[in-house]
Amino acid sequence: MASFLHQPVLLAEVIAALRPRTNGRYADGTLGGGGHAAAILKASSPNGWLFGCDRDGVALEAARERLAEFTGRFELRRGNFAELAGWVPVGSCDGVVLDLGVSSPQLDTPERGFSHQHDGPLDMRMDERQGLTAAELVNQASAEELARLFAELGGERQARRFARAIVRERPLSTTRQLAGLIERLVPRAGRRTHPATKVFQALRLAVNDELGSLKRGLAAGWSLLKPGGRLAVITFHSLEDRIVKQFGRDLAREYTFPGPVDVPELRQPRPPEARWWQRKAVVPGAAELAANPRSRSAQLRVLEKI
Ligand SMILES: C[S@@+](CC[C@H](N)C(=O)[O-])C[C@H]1O[C@@H](n2cnc3c(N)ncnc32)[C@H](O)[C@@H]1O
């Protein structure tokens, strides 16, 4: 699996945040090629232990190979990090990492259908055992559903126009057909990003229920931590980052409120359960941006359990 090339993002910062130590216990919910996991195991030598999971079977095998030198100190499993609390004892971990989104090999393998830059089937499933593919969504959802999805998950301003054109032209079965259709509606001249970028992002988020998994994964990852343990999350767009910020804000505040709305008179005093490691999100420095342009939208937030 030497061809699984993924450059771990914000690696030094994640290690500085988690401060791995021997006898420490860690969980990585997004193994990918195992870059962060290997660094955690190395830094927690000789006895640190790590549980790792990924929804993607190819990634899992690549990580297993990458981590071979640490055999006996880790356990790996294929699955969604939303299920972490069923696999690792609650309250047992010193650190948990979630490095969201897709890996470079997922993007760069045309058959996975994640990228408008390659021609492949409209697939986009991180876990290929799951049913729903991007082709099914594109060919079966109504124009209204597609428009809502492109607007809400892609922030696409021309969501309704694109959705109507898709419904007119379908069935569509390849990434090239979908990207080409949008290119014909919006000439590319002068644009820095491809006009189908937001549509592809929205479809990927929907196919994999990425935001739903993130909400459940944050709660699961948090429950694994001991007091003093840290949860490190790397996000790649504002929808993800907003969810992480809100999750942390609720735990770090000194009061809670009954009911769905925050009515100041009804607030109940309660000690905060978390503190932020850094007040602001940590972003890649100039050297990392130059070496790995795919890191450009990464933001790291770290919460410590009190
Ligand atoms: C950015 S890559 C992680 C790279 C990894 N940290 C490394 O150093 O190589 C994201 C990985 O997370 C996986 N992933 C995304 N969402 C997931 C979820 N809800 N549950 C499990 N794995 C997920 C993807 O399949 C992908 O392999």
Q: Which domain holds residue 136?
A: 131-207
Q: Which of 125, 126, 297 to mutate to test the pocket of ligand 1 (most atoms within 8 A of CB)?
A: 126
Which of 199, 185, 107, 191 is CA-nearest to residue 152? 199
Ligand 1 atom nearest residue 82's Cα: 19
Let me know if residue 62 belongs to a domain: yes
Q: What is the C-alpha to C-alpha distance for residues 306 and 301, in angstroms, rounded to an integer?
A: 16
Let me know if residue 92 belongs to a domain: yes
Are residues 166 and 182 both part of a single domain? yes
Residue with tokens 């660094």: 39
Write out pLDDT tens, residues 67-102. Answer: 999 999 999 999 999 999 999 999 999 999 999 999
Are residues 181 and 247 both part of a single domain? no
Last residue within a domain, chosen from 151, 183, 207:
207
- β pairing state of 299-305 and 225-235: antiparallel
Average the pLDDT over 272-294 and give the result: 96
Let me know if residue 120 belongs to a domain: no
Let me know if residue 118 belongs to a domain: no
Are residues 93 and 154 both part of a single domain? no
Q: Alpha carbon of 5 to those of 8, 32, 52: distances in Å?
A: 10, 10, 18
Average the pLDDT over 172-176 and give the result: 98
Are residues 296 and 219 both part of a single domain? yes
Let me know if residue 113 belongs to a domain: no
Q: From the CB of 80, is ligand 1 less than 6 Å away? A: yes
Write out pLDDT tens, residues 243-270. Answer: 999 999 999 988 877 777 888 888 888 8
Determine whether 62 is exposed, middle or buried from the number of CB atoms within 10 Å of its CB (0-12, 13-18, 19+).
buried
Which of 60, 66, 67 is CA-nearest to residue 81? 60
Write out pLDDT tens, residues 14-61. Answer: 999 999 999 999 999 999 999 999 999 999 999 999 999 999 999 999
Look at the chain and report how many structural domains it folds into. Answer: 2
Are residues 45 and 168 both part of a single domain? no
Q: What is the DSSP letter of 265?
A: G
Q: What is the C-alpha to C-alpha distance for residues 181 and 158, in angstroms, rounded to an integer?
A: 13
Residue with tokens 């021609």: 119
Q: Which helix (H) or strand (E) holds 302?
A: strand 299-305
Let me know if residue 82 belongs to a domain: yes
Q: What is the C-alpha to C-alpha distance for residues 116 and 103, in angstroms, rounded to an integer?
A: 15
- Assess contact for 104 and 173: CB atoms under 8 A: no
Q: From the CB of 29, is ligand 1 less than 6 Å away? A: yes
Q: From the CB of 33, is ligand 1 less than 6 Å away? A: yes
Q: From the CB of 221, is ligand 1 less than 6 Å away? A: no
Residue type, 175: T
pLDDT higher than threshold 80 for residue 226: yes
Which of 10, 4, 39 is CA-nearest to residue 292? 10
